[in-house]
Structure 1
Amino acid sequence: MDWPETWDRMAAFLRSVSQTLPQKPDAILVVSGHWETAVPTVTATAQPPLIYDYYGFPPHTYHLRYPAPGSPALAAQVQALLTAAGIPNAANAERGLDHGVFIPFMLAFEAADIPVVELSLQHHLDPAAHLRIGQALAPLRDRNVLIIGTGLTYHNLRHFMGQDRDSDALSHAFDAWLVAAVCAPEAERTTALKQWEAAPGARICHPREDHLLPLMVAAGAAGRDRGVQTYRDTVMGKALSGFRFG
């Protein structure tokens, strides 16, 4: 399999992201599927290191660099908004950015000149709680902070790496459901995402929902803005999508 060609369309999409924004963000708040804590926690270091949280890859991938600054000021704003919403939270002044952040950002924000703060998922992975977190953080959008959720809309690695027509079909059914849900009006979108496990093929596509929940935070922050599907691809038989709000 030609891996670079397999992911070329996704790479092209990521490289186009910054060009589609109405203006350059003052900072980015990002939720990755690779950090879970008991309460929502923000990185609060001015110079976040990188966390090479993957195994068995070529040696050069452990020397990648993404020297974007952090923003203790944004971390404090996030905490203040969560506290005002009655959501317990914390800050971590030592943790850096995991590969769910720096790998896509190396393409999407190549200059690494926008401050980045990462927000954790909660261990319980409750969709309603993550939608509520997003709702609490919505005011950041008016402060020119870009809120991003990274992950994959299909994340069953056992089926991803194998040839399985049944799971291919279920991935397309789930993707169609997800597109309809995300692009629906706010109330309908929120209800659907809370009940995502009832979607066709849901637990085949996401045996564990860590890669789906960052989307919940972004959707919660979207308010009345309807989602728009900005990326669509089929990779190794599996349907993948990307969205933006506003």
Structure 2
Amino acid sequence: MSANRLPVWFIPHGGGPCFFMDPPPKAPDAWKKMEAYLRGISAAAGARPRAILIISGHWLEKRPTVTAGANPPLIYDYQGFPKHTYELRYPAPGDPRLAAEVVARLKQAGIEAGEDKERGFDHGVFIPLLLLYPQADIPVVQLSLVDSMDPKTHIAIGEALAPLRDDGVLIIGSGMSFHNLQNFYGADPRLLQIAEKFDAFLHEAIGLDPAPRAQALAGWDNAPGARISQPHEDHLIPLMVAAGAAGADRGVRDYYDHVFGAPISGYRFG
């Protein structure tokens, strides 16, 4: 293990382009704490990464797939927001060499993988990165989820990619620990109380040693409040990749807040 090993993060990426809009009148500070957290990650990471590998909850494929273009475009995969939010730019270069290495490492681990040279970065990538590394001068590769959403598969993907941390690659899972849009804005307080139990489950699970952590996360949907917090788990599964990439590093919750009443957390490993 390198003394310069980079941490791994699971971050909340907010709601659409929320950090780049006027705040909601009834909750003007709703996204402020999350924005400050995301802006602080580059300093918390310590060394400047040579590249970023980010897993977003907004890209699903039959097999893990990486963006492999030299200059990936942006995908404005949100609807109904102000015009200027469709003019946001994040011209970070891709990294075809890293993309090929990701595929090679996954195949060495017995995980079939592929490249996509045309796909761009969705908002689960460019929105948080506009806060983490606004200069857009660090190469970025996005990794898809597997549409089976199997937790063990994604933990194994992370385990296969963990050595990249010793080679200057910052691995980030981008999603939301609470992602129930029907019970978000103006949510039922009774449901949010149950969601607190799921947040507590995640907080305990990520602090465990690797084997019990993986076991706990693999059974996440049996935890109290699981399906209230994650009716469709696309925004949770990036945490599994991050936990796998953590190796022996225990996780800590380095962000916790309530946004429109919902508990939302972020986690750092290493």
TM-score band, normalised by shorter chain: over 0.9
SS in 2 for 1:170: helix
1:22 is displaced (CA, Å) by: 2.3
Alpha-carbon distance between aligned partners in 1 of 2:110 and 2:209, rounded to the nearest angstrom: 26
How big is each residue's C-alpha offset from its partner over 1:178-199, in whole Å with a ceiling of 9 and x where there is no partner? 0000111111110000000111
**1:51 to 2:75 alignment:** yes
One-letter amino acid of the counterpart of residue 225, structure 1: D
Query: Aligned to 2:198, which of 153, 158, 174?
Result: 174
**1:39 to 2:63 alignment:** yes
Alpha-carbon distance between aligned partners in 2 of 1:149 and 1:37, rounded to the nearest angstrom: 16
Give the share of equivalent positions with the same residue, in percent: 57
Name which structure has the greater RCO, CA cutoff 8 Å, separation 6+: 2
1:162 is displaced (CA, Å) by: 2.3
SS in 2 for 1:6: coil
How big is each residue's C-alpha offset from its partner over 1:44-72, in whole Å with a ceiling of 9 and x where there is no partner? 01111000001111111111000111000
Question: Partner residue of 1:200?
Answer: 224
Alpha-carbon distance between aligned partners in 1 of 2:154 and 2:227, rounded to the nearest angstrom: 19
Alpha-carbon distance between aligned partners in 1 of 2:45 and 2:134, rounded to the nearest angstrom: 15
- Stretches of structure 1 that go unaligned for 5 or more consecutive residues are none
**1:159 to 2:199 alignment:** no
Alpha-carbon distance between aligned partners in 2 of 1:22 and 1:6, rounded to the nearest angstrom: 28
Alpha-carbon distance between aligned partners in 1 of 2:196 and 2:128, rounded to the nearest angstrom: 23
How big is each residue's C-alpha offset from its partner over 1:144-199, in whole Å with a ceiling of 9 and x where there is no partner? 10100001000000000223111110121110110000111111110000000111
Q: What does 1:1-246 align with in structure 2 at a 5 Å threshold?
A: 1-2=24-25, 4-246=28-270
1:5 is displaced (CA, Å) by: 1.6
- Stretches of structure 2 that go unaligned for 5 or more consecutive residues are 1-23
One-letter amino acid of the counterpart of residue 239, structure 1: P
Task: Give me the TM-score of the superposition, normalised by structure 1.
Answer: 0.98
SS in 2 for 1:150: strand
SS in 2 for 1:217: helix
Which of the two has greater helix per residue? Answer: 1
CA RMSD, aligned part only?
0.9
One-letter amino acid of the counterpart of residue 185, structure 2: M
Task: Give me the TM-score of the superposition, normalised by structure 2.
Answer: 0.90
